[in-house]
């Protein structure tokens, strides 16, 4: 047993060194390999909630991949032939459009109501929110705002004032020796963010992100600031900014040429900043192990993903392993950034509707989303026969044109996997110890 452990640790150390060279954008923490003794214990996922809206259960369970057919996520384009098929397709499309409008109306009516039941909101949010309802819905789903409309303004004002006190108290300490490194890293990372062209090059926006991230880091010394957390502010900031700008075009997140400082008064900008801080805090509270020393939460999730794929699709798993591709080399970033570097920002925002609709969306359901995401590219990956091309593909997946439809299929497949394999890690652990 001692020899086996030493061999494992030596192999893992070699893997870490190789991964450091590849993941230059996200270097692993110092002495990462020194913390593997207990970080790879596989957590039991039996507590994953699988209570979802009936229509999404139906979608998920209808997407069952087989050995003779491509998986549901590969069937993006189906062309019907003949006039009867086209008529059926047109009828189905019309019916789907009516259902979509009906769901939109329900979501917006619920969010505008005087009293919102959180479970009702979760049910409607899981398959995706409308841009008009999203900002308020996210605040309620995060627990930042109560469902009672009469208390919302009072609570929001109190929390915004509390955040402003944090700014006054902490931000002036950024130049102190003990905090210089934290602020410097934040200051370096923010200009690198560019999911919306030009927006994050505005100094006004950069200062908002700097304050949010610095204050969160100071108030959470167990983890502090880690590269990747900066990306997690983006969805909240963009959704709340869009809401403040009152954009009518549903397909537009934020105009690329918008000047935030001149378009919004200081009071509104401060509100967006405070709201983003509090909602980010809720998300990070659920996944803080991802960002503490040696990032043990990510270690666990990477191992869970490997075990899950091995059980779901042994062929794909064997193909990756046989070409020396380690899951850590590509899925570290998937876990660290919640797939935000892999998806267009609009698609990430849609995905977060589903994550926020669940109490453990970011901490547990994300694992199954990553599994579904990897399996989505199976046909392309199986064609690649060397380490370099496999890894390059996995680090640069072609999702530039992804939108709501692709995310809907992704979360449906992820739900199916969570429904069927929620206890897979514990089963694997039992099998290995028996």
pLDDT score for 104: 83
Q: Mean pLDDT throughout 285-305?
A: 94
**Does the pLDDT value for residue 101 go beyond 80?**
no
pLDDT score for 93: 52
Cα dist. 252→104, 133, 196, 409 in Å? 17, 15, 11, 22
Cα 144 from chain centroid (whole Å): 19
Tokens of 211: 């304050």
User: Tell me: the pLDDT tens digits for 368-403?
Assistant: 999 999 999 999 999 999 999 999 999 999 999 999
Please, which pLDDT band fits residue 102 given cuts at 50, 70 and 90? confident
**Does the pLDDT value for residue 329 go beyond 80?**
yes
pLDDT score for 421: 87
C-alpha span between 172 and 346 (Å, rounded): 34
**Does the pLDDT value for residue 9 go beyond 70?**
no
Please, which pLDDT band fits residue 1 given cuts at 50, 70 and 90? very low
Please, which pLDDT band fits residue 409 given cuts at 50, 70 and 90? very high
pLDDT score for 25: 41
Tokens of 220: 């959470």
* Buried-exposed string 290-308: b where 16+ CB fall within 10 A, e elsewhere: bbbebbbbbbbbbbbbbbb
pLDDT score for 325: 97
The number of residues in the chain equals 434
**Does the pLDDT value for residue 250 go beyond 60?**
yes
**Does the pLDDT value for residue 296 go beyond 60?**
yes
C-alpha span between 411 and 423 (Å, rounded): 18
Q: Is the dihedral of CA 103, 104, 107, 108 positive or negative?
A: negative
User: Tell me: the pLDDT tens digits for 202-247?
Assistant: 999 999 999 999 999 999 998 899 999 999 999 999 999 999 999 9
Structural contact between residues 403 and 326, judged by C-beta atoms closer than 8 angstroms: no
Please, which pLDDT band fits residue 110 given cuts at 50, 70 and 90? very high
pLDDT score for 55: 52
pLDDT score for 422: 77
Q: Which residues contact 382 (CB under 8 A, 6 or more apart)?
A: 315, 316, 319
Q: Mean pLDDT throughout 304-316?
A: 96
Please, which pLDDT band fits residue 94 given cuts at 50, 70 and 90? low
Mean of per-residue pLDDT scores for the chain: 81
Structural contact between residues 64 and 72, judged by C-beta atoms closer than 8 angstroms: yes
**Does the pLDDT value for residue 407 go beyond 80?**
yes
**Does the pLDDT value for residue 83 go beyond 90?**
no
Q: 22-36, 266-280, 297-311: lowest mean pLDDT where? A: 22-36
């Amino acid at each position: 047993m001692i020899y086996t452990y030493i061999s494992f640790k030596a192999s893992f150390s070699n893997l870490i060194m190789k991964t450091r060279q590849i993941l230059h954008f996200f270097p692993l923490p110092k002495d990462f390999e020194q913390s593997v003794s207990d970080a790879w214990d596989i957590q039991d996922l039996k507590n994953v909630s699988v209570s979802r809206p009936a229509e999404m259960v139906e979608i998920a369970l209808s997407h069952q991949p087989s050995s003779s057919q491509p998986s549901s996520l590969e069937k993006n384009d189906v062309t019907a032939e003949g006039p009867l098929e086209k008529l059926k397709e047109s009828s189905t499309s019309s019916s789907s459009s009516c259902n979509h409008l009906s769901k939109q109306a329900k979501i917006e009516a619920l969010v505008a109501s005087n009293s919102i039941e959180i479970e009702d909101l979760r049910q409607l949010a899981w398959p995706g929110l409308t841009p008009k309802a999203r900002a308020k819905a996210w605040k309620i789903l995060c627990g930042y705002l109560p469902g009672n409309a009469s208390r919302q303004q009072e609570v929001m004002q109190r929390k915004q004032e509390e955040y402003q006190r944090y700014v006054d108290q902490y931000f002036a300490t950024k130049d102190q020796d003990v905090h210089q490194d934290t602020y410097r890293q934040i200051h370096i990372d923010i200009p690198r963010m560019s999911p919306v062209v030009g927006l994050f090059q505005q100094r006004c926006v950069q200062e908002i992100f700097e304050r949010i991230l610095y204050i969160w880091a100071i108030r959470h010394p167990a983890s502090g600031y880690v590269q990747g957390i900066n990306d997690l502010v983006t969805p909240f900031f963009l959704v709340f900014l869009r809401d403040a700008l009152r954009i009518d075009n549903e397909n537009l997140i934020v105009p690329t040429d918008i000047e935030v400082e001149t378009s919004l008064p200081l009071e509104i900008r401060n509100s967006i900043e405070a709201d983003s801080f509090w909602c980010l805090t809720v998300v990070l509270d659920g996944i803080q192990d991802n960002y503490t020393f040696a990032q043990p939460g990510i270690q666990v999730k990477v191992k869970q993903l490997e075990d899950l794929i091995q059980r779901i699709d042994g062929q794909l798993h064997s193909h990756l392993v046989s070409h020396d591709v380690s899951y850590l080399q590509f899925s570290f970033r998937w876990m660290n950034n919640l797939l935000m570097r892999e998806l267009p920002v609009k698609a990430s925002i849609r995905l977060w509707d589903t994550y926020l609709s669940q109490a453990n969306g970011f901490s547990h359901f994300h694992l199954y989303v990553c599994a579904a995401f990897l399996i989505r590219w199976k046909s392309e990956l199986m064609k690649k026969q060397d380490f370099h091309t496999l890894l390059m593909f996995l680090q640069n997946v072609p999702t530039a044109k992804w939108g709501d439809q692709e995310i809907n299929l992704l979360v449906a497949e992820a739900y199916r996997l969570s429904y069927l394999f929620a206890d897979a890690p514990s089963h694997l652990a039992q099998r290995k110890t028996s």
